[in-house]
């Protein structure tokens, strides 16, 4: 009897945390839609542009802005295909990411050792000690994937399996529940 109660309790707890994580996923889906249509601006200590490969490598205190998006990094590589930005890879310790949310949903902030953005799929990857927060809600994991087009966030351990996903969600009364 005790074993059945314990299994039922663990299943209920797991389902509660899963539901809470889904609520957080919905809040992170409200990034400003207009940002992706804005021009990209980059400041750095140095830049190397290779028209043959379509790559521009920015180094030293790099700041990338696009609308409300702001990324800071040690280096950023921008790849263009047919004159259109297709991929942005930022490295740092850490790379930081900030974007205003739509509809008063709050600022979205992230940090990781590396950030990679694929324009064709509108997907942001935060890799290595990754964190993504909006208000008091947060994800922490080795790897976080944010698919803006589908409004989906996925978090999980890297192939090395270093760390489990940690989720914190603010309740409606202002308390936080840690995962």
What does the alpha-carbon distance between residue 95 and residue 112 come to, in Å, rounded to a whole number?
Answer: 5
pLDDT tens, position by position, 117-170: 998 888 989 999 999 888 888 889 999 998 877 778 888 866 565 677 888 887
Q: How many domains does the chain have?
A: 1
pLDDT (0 to 100) of residue 160: 62
Statement: the pTM of the whole predicted model exceeds 0.95: no
Lowest average pLDDT, out of 36-40, 83-87, 114-118, 175-179, goes to 175-179
CA dist list (Å): 174 to 77, 102, 130, 169: 40, 21, 25, 10
> Which CATH number characterizes residue 44's domain?
2.60.450.10
Average pLDDT over residues 27-56: 81
pLDDT at 178 (0 to 100): 54
Q: Where do the DSSP E strands lie in the chain?
A: 41-43, 46-50, 55-66, 69-81, 84-99, 108-118, 123-134, 137-147, 152-156, 166-170, 176-178
pLDDT of res. 158: 60
Mean pLDDT of the chain: 77
Torsion of CA 51, 52, 53, 58, to 10 degrees: -30
| Phi-psi group of 43: left, alpha or beta (phi > 0 → left; psi -120 to 50 → alpha; rest → beta) | beta
Q: Which domain holds residue 75?
A: 2-178
Least confident of 43-47, 78-82, 105-109, 172-176: 172-176
Q: Look at residue 91 and tell me whether its pLDDT is greater than 80.
A: yes
């Amino acid at each position: 009897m005790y074993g059945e109660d314990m299994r039922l309790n663990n299943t209920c707890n797991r389902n509660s945390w899963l539901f809470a994580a889904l609520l957080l996923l919905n809040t992170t889906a409200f990034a400003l839609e207009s940002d992706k249509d804005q021009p990209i601006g980059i400041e750095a200590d140095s830049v190397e542009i290779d028209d043959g490969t379509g790559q521009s490598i920015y180094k030293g205190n790099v700041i990338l802005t696009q609308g409300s998006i702001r990324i800071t990094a040690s280096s950023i590589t921008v790849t263009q295909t047919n004159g259109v930005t297709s991929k942005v890879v930022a490295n740092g310790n850490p790379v930081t990411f900030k974007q205003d949310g739509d509809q008063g949903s709050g600022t979205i902030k992230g940090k990781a050792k590396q950030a990679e953005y694929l324009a064709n799929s509108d997907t942001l990857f935060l890799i290595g000690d990754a964190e993504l927060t909006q208000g008091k809600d947060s994800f922490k994991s080795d790897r976080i994937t944010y698919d803006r087009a589908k409004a989906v966030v996925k978090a999980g351990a890297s192939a090395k399996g270093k760390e489990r996903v940690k989720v914190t969600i603010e309740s409606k009364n202002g308390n936080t529940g840690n995962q």
